[in-house]
Amino acid sequence: MPISVLDIAELIGAKIIGDSNIKVTYLSEIHKVEEGSLMFVDNEKYYSQSIYSAASAIIIDKVVDCPEDKVLLIVDNPFEAYNLLAIHYSPFIAIMSNVSPTAIIGSNTVLEPGVVVGNHVTIGDNCLVRANTVLLDNTKIGNNVIIHANSSIGNDAFYMKKQKDGSYNRWHSIGRVIIEDNVEIGACCTIDKGVSGDTIIGEGTKLDNSVHVGHGVVIGKHCLLAAQVGIAGKTIIQDFVTIYGQVGISKALVVGEGATILAKAGVPKSIPGGNKEYVGIPAGESRSKFREMVAIRQLPDLIKKVNEIYSAIFKNKSNIDK
Amino acid sequence: MPISVLDIAELIGAKIIGDSNIKVTYLSEIHKVEEGSLMFVDNEKYYSQSIYSAASAIIIDKVVDCPEDKVLLIVDNPFEAYNLLAIHYSPFIAIMSNVSPTAIIGSNTVLEPGVVVGNHVTIGDNCLVRANTVLLDNTKIGNNVIIHANSSIGNDAFYMKKQKDGSYNRWHSIGRVIIEDNVEIGACCTIDKGVSGDTIIGEGTKLDNSVHVGHGVVIGKHCLLAAQVGIAGKTIIQDFVTIYGQVGISKALVVGEGATILAKAGVPKSIPGGNKEYVGIPAGESRSKFREMVAIRQLPDLIKKVNEIYSAIFKNKSNIDK
Amino acid sequence: MPISVLDIAELIGAKIIGDSNIKVTYLSEIHKVEEGSLMFVDNEKYYSQSIYSAASAIIIDKVVDCPEDKVLLIVDNPFEAYNLLAIHYSPFIAIMSNVSPTAIIGSNTVLEPGVVVGNHVTIGDNCLVRANTVLLDNTKIGNNVIIHANSSIGNDAFYMKKQKDGSYNRWHSIGRVIIEDNVEIGACCTIDKGVSGDTIIGEGTKLDNSVHVGHGVVIGKHCLLAAQVGIAGKTIIQDFVTIYGQVGISKALVVGEGATILAKAGVPKSIPGGNKEYVGIPAGESRSKFREMVAIRQLPDLIKKVNEIYSAIFKNKSNIDK
């Protein structure tokens, strides 16, 4: 629903620079803005990225030069202003009954005992939600989805803003979790909603137990995620990716289509797909990583050998392990 | 209950090669077959292992030569036929009340609020099941067992069959979880049932919080598993094994009696017991692994030293880190 | 409440050496004793530490020389005697209703459906406890605290005592979990109570999902712990510490104020704070660890180079990788 920047400026006490007649449609994070977006920036490092982004209006703590079509909303604390708007337009409402009266549940869908369904959750047909799983507000689930026991879907994003005194303020999340058709989610999984966009689990993807999916993560179709995998916020996992147990994937990166990530790997940056296989911390292509692992086993002997050589050619210098 | 192969053939539309009068007693995976087993094979690589196994009958996608006492059931898609049989003889029944009327609960056993007990679960005497834990169908629990809050015992195996189009089909699990006497299971643990056999937690074994135990895993007596350990399907942990926090153990391997696996290790293949201690990713005996760790700390200096030597003896060649 | 050692001696069948008129106030573990503490020791290695500690009375399996002001309580099995006292003075009481009538809940605090609140739990004002979370006995929660779905707070310590036959006995926990103001705890987290002292989550600290906090851990103010972090028992995390995803921290150590620990690190011993950053298994300062990681990538080439040198100068010796 488009909202006038005049109304917004009044709500957050901002001074408007630019056309005060425009309307905005989305509250957006800097990662993902489009025409109609209202975003905020409070760090000079990101001023220029923000001003030349597609966003229509920007909450900012300083008057800066900017393209004519942008509207600036000047406030002292842009983060607080943004958060106030998020809470105003998408207020938190506690879940008051096991199945919220605002939830929509498809035909032939079974909710086992202890399942809690939050406000405005929708679940498709032929789904099975096993005992004691919690589906939090605005979660949207397709058809033929199975969610095992004790999982929590649609938790608030773990997205904290550090204050000057070192304490943290939570960023109010307004995104959702969207689970497409034929997905299966294990027991004790945690899937957080997006801060401004949605967290998406693509069609046919299967998650084992105790998998953590951070805010705004987008997982493609027909992926396999084994137990205890963790994926940090805003990361994109493309289609047909296989991730073995206890892998950790850092935030805001891309795992390419068809990639395989072996158990316990830690992925710190984007990796291409195309049937490549990765392993290690930090993860690399498995062929070279396995070669390194073999080499490490030879390392104690190598050190001895180098010392032997060193003694032979520089007789008067001392060795490494002395 | 023995079932005639004639009935099975009719159910799955198979052509029978061999003695159509025999009966089978077990649906089995290739890992563990015995006389009376009905198994399936759909990969030429495993034809010969299957045909010369102890199984009495084999669902297969091709007529092949085989010993006289074997019965072949020929179908186009053996996996689908197997899954259809599993579902037919062990159909899924949702849990409809907090404690299923088919469950059996021993004397002096306490179920705290929010505990859900599935169909045909049996619990022995003097057990304590803490709040919001879920015990799924057919789970069998001994005496003096404690299960902490929010755990999920008896989840479906995470055992997916890749289809030609890259999507996955779940293998219908017919095994159980068996928890022997004096076991303790932490909070938020997940223990999956076996695909065809049982997952077993041996007498006196203690699991800390958020431990994941995959399908068909067999853990021996008096083991200790610290928090966030994960064990993949079909692995055997023998008696008196100690596993520290966040260790991951791969599938279908054996950890020998009395082994100790230090924190964060990743175990990719079977390891002997006998009081040996393991560490690292991939895990090795701790004595040699600790030596490697010390050596790695010397590696940057070693490279400099080798370059120095190299320059001294091959003056015209370039160095590694140039 | 001070209790006379005479009463204690009678309860556990101990012989008293020393002043039988004194009273003790605390049951304590060896890690943390003070005047008024009653502790136990059953290992000669710790006799002298125990006898010269601040404890007022010591349950011990042997008459030993000790300072005049100490009282010794001689029994055959000090651990069993200690455990008997712990159970006697702090008996386990199962939770019998969703919210125990002995719990105290502040104003403006919301408990969503399925939340279970144990005996003698206290929760402050303006808290939100999301669906299906379990707060176990004696947990004490401040104001403005948020706990997400399916978490388990106040589980028994995972603190097992090995018996001579290799089986384990649980140490009965009498500590509590204390959560200070403005803390946020993710979904599916597990926080154990202390064995004798308390587990504390300091003011303003934020935990992401599936974090495990062991018995007696003390976390300072304004720390951030990302998803799937695990902290073993009795460890101290000072103020303003940041811990990334899947980090594991060993027991009974100290992480200094302001430290940052990068994802997947394993911390085996105490590390200083002061804005230092750590990474790796075992964790070290990130600057030197990253240098090692770069060096490891050069290792296969280094081995070739060393062999080349070796051949050149010791023509008749064989090389490492032959």
How does residue A189 score in pLDDT terms, banded at 50, 70 and 90?
very high
Residue A185's closest chain B neighbor by CA?
A: B158
Question: Is residue B132 within 8 angstroms of chain A, CB to CB?
Answer: yes
Bridge partners of residue B23, in order along the sequence = B4
Q: Which of B191, B212, B261, B299 to mutate to test the interface with A (most CBs of A within 10 A)?
A: B212
Residue C280's closest chain A neighbor by CA?
A: A281
Question: Residue A315 above 80 pLDDT?
Answer: no
Q: Is B85 helix (H, G, I), strand (E, B) or coil?
A: helix
Chain-chain contact of C299 with B299 (C-beta, under 8 angstroms): yes
Using CB atoms, list chains with 3+ pairs below 8 Å to chain B.
A, C
Question: Residue C316 above 60 pLDDT?
Answer: no
CA nearest to B183, candidates B140, B217, B236: B140
Residue C190's closest chain A neighbor by CA?
A: A188
Asked if A106 and A127 touch (Cβ cutoff 8 Å), the reply is yes
**For C174-226, how does the pLDDT look when each residue is reduced to its tens digit (9 = 90+)?**
999 999 999 999 999 999 999 988 999 999 999 999 999 999 999 999 999 99
Question: Is residue B96 within 8 angstroms of chain A, CB to CB?
Answer: yes
CA nearest to B305, candidates B291, B293, B319: B319
List helix spans (H) across B68-143.
78-89
Q: What percent of chain A has pLDDT over 70?
A: 98
Q: What is the pLDDT of residue C49?
A: 92
Q: Which of A303, A311, A314 to mutate to test the interface with B (most CBs of B within 10 A)?
A: A303
Q: What percent of chain C has pLDDT over 70?
A: 98
Tell the burial category of B280 from Cβ atoms under 10 Å away from its Cβ (0-12, 13-18, 19+).
buried
User: Which whole number is the average pLDDT over A114-126?
Assistant: 98
CA of B251 vs chain A CAs: smallest distance (Å): 10
**For A154-165, how does the pLDDT look when each residue is reduced to its tens digit (9 = 90+)?**
999 999 999 989
Q: What is the pLDDT of residue C317?
A: 58
Cβ-based neighbour number of residue C136 at 10 Å? 27
Structure tokens at B63: 């007529």
Every domain of chain C and the residues it spans:
3-89
Q: Which of A148, A172, A212, A215 is catalytic?
A: A215
How does residue A322 score in pLDDT terms, banded at 50, 70 and 90?
very low
**Cβ contacts (< 8 Å) between A94 and chain C: which residues?**
110, 112, 128
Q: What is the pLDDT of residue B322?
A: 42
Separation CA C132–CA A133 (nearest Å): 8
**Cβ contacts (< 8 Å) between C188 and chain B: which residues?**
150, 188, 210
**Cβ contacts (< 8 Å) between B212 and chain A: which residues?**
208-210, 227-228, 245
Chain-chain contact of A156 with C149 (C-beta, under 8 angstroms): no
Separation CA C33–CA C53 (nearest Å): 7
Q: How many residues does chain A have?
A: 322
CA of A97 vs chain C CAs: smallest distance (Å): 6
Question: Residue C125 above 50 pLDDT?
Answer: yes
Give Cβ neighbours of residue C9 (< 8 Å, ≥ 6 apart).
C15, C16, C20, C73
Q: Is C31 helix (H, G, I), strand (E, B) or coil?
A: coil
Q: What percent of chain C has pLDDT over 90?
A: 87
- What type of residue is A224? L
**For A124-172, how does the pLDDT look when each residue is reduced to its tens digit (9 = 90+)?**
999 999 999 999 999 999 999 999 999 999 999 999 999 989 999 988 9
Instruction: State yes or no: cis peptide before C282, omega within 30 of 0.
Output: yes
Within 245-284 of B, beta carbons closer than 8 Å to C belong to 245-246, 263-264, 281
Within 179-218 of C, beta carbons closer than 8 Å to A belong to 182, 184, 186-188, 204, 206, 208-210
For the residues of C80-96, what is the DSSP string, one character each?
Answer: HHHHHHHHHHS------
The helix or strand, by DSSP H or E, that contains position A303, with its residue range, turns out to be helix A286-313
Is the ipTM of this structure higher than 0.85?
yes
Question: Residue C322 above 60 pLDDT?
Answer: no
Q: What is the pLDDT of residue A313?
A: 83
Separation CA C54–CA C35 (nearest Å): 5
Nearest to A313 among B212, B294, B309 (CB): B309
- Catalytic, B31? Answer no
Separation CA C189–CA C24 (nearest Å): 35
Residues of chain B with pLDDT under 50: 322
Tell me the whole-structure pTM to 2 decimals. 0.94
How does residue A184 score in pLDDT terms, banded at 50, 70 and 90?
very high
Question: Is residue B302 within 8 angstroms of chain C, CB to CB?
Answer: yes
Question: Residue A77 above 80 pLDDT?
Answer: yes
Nearest to A222 among B132, B168, B190 (CB): B168
Chain-chain contact of C130 with A134 (C-beta, under 8 angstroms): yes
Question: Is residue A6 within 8 angstroms of chain B, CB to CB?
Answer: no
Sheet with A218-219, edge to edge strand ranges: A104-105, A122-123, A140-141, A177-179, A199-201, A218-219, A236-237, A254-255
**For A273-301, how does the pLDDT look when each residue is reduced to its tens digit (9 = 90+)?**
998 999 999 999 999 999 999 999 999 99
Nearest to A113 among B98, B212, B284 (CB): B98
Q: Which of B88, B212, B215, B222 is catalytic?
A: B215
What is the torsion angle, in degrees rounded to the nearest 10, for the CA atoms of residue B249, residue B254, residue B256 and residue B260? Answer: 0
**For A19-44, how does the pLDDT look when each residue is reduced to its tens digit (9 = 90+)?**
999 999 988 888 788 899 999 999 89
Within 37-66 of B, beta carbons closer than 8 Å to C belong to none
Q: Is A320 helix (H, G, I), strand (E, B) or coil?
A: coil
Asked if C9 and C20 touch (Cβ cutoff 8 Å), the reply is yes
Chain-chain contact of A209 with B158 (C-beta, under 8 angstroms): yes
Domain C3-89 fold is 3.40.1390
Separation CA C99–CA C319 (nearest Å): 71
Structure tokens at C84: 């008997």
